[in-house]
Amino acid sequence: MKFFIDTANLDHIREAHELGILDGVTTNPSLMAKEGITGQANIENHYKKICEIVEGDVSAEVNATDFAGMVKEGTHLSSLAENIVVKVPMTKDGVKAIRHFTDNGIPTNCTLVFSSAQAILAAKAGATYVSPFIGRIDDSNWDGMLLIKEMAEIYAIQGFETQILAASIRNSRHIVEAAKNGADVCTCPLSAILGMLKHPLTDLGLEQFLADYRKGNS
């Protein structure tokens, strides 16, 4: 399973990159706004900075909602750096735009996916990635992992090559469950990635090893 970080925070991206486990980055307009990045020129400049830190895929989301606007904006975004993936929402115009980008060799990430029906459409349009929003499904009292599982089954049966990118991940348990249920990629905040390191028995064990070492070497 690939690991992406879901943020526009450059310090968080650098920290995950330095861990040596980072395969890419996803962003969205809300994450950009959270970092205070506003205005198209600043947003594009920020994408360039992210692409200088990581070699892997960096999702850059279109803000246009009509087909022509998405094609224009996405084509421009993809010219900013070689590793840009154009992120397109799951709408009627979005599906048409994904098909256009696919036919023109531009990789895409279909975002805001909440059902297997939407996931099938995204795959049919040739999306490189499809992003089911796990945490938001859990928030609405359903089970996001059931969606990952069903999507993985359908994609395997049908031979779809679109990669399942588990998004809206809130904690390290989500990452484990997404891996178990067949996600190809997990995009996570830094807190969820660092949360994977933690176990109290690791801390206690290390404390004991160091104490014993000090006893034998003092």
- Which residues are annotated as catalytic? 87
Which among 139, 82, 79, 74 is positioned nearest to 102, based on CA atoms?
74
Binding site for ligand G3P (CB under 6 A): 6, 26, 28, 31, 131, 133, 135-136, 167-168, 187
Nearer to ligand G3P, 101 or 133 (CB): 133
One-letter amino acid of 31: L
Residue with token string 């998004």: 167
Identify the H or E element spanning 209. Answer: helix 200-216
Nearer to ligand G3P, 3 or 133 (CB): 133
Q: State the minimum distance, in angstroms, from the CB of residue 170 to ligand G3P.
A: 6
Residue pair 27/59 in contact by the 8 Å Cβ criterion:
yes
Bridge partners, residue 130, by sequence? 110, 164
Q: State the minimum distance, in angstroms, from the CB of residue 62 to ligand G3P.
A: 15
Nearer to ligand G3P, 47 or 212 (CB): 47
Radius of gyration of the chain (CA): 19
Q: How many CB atoms are located within 10 Å of the residue 157 CB?
A: 8
Q: State the minimum distance, in angstroms, from the CB of residue 159 to ligand G3P.
A: 26
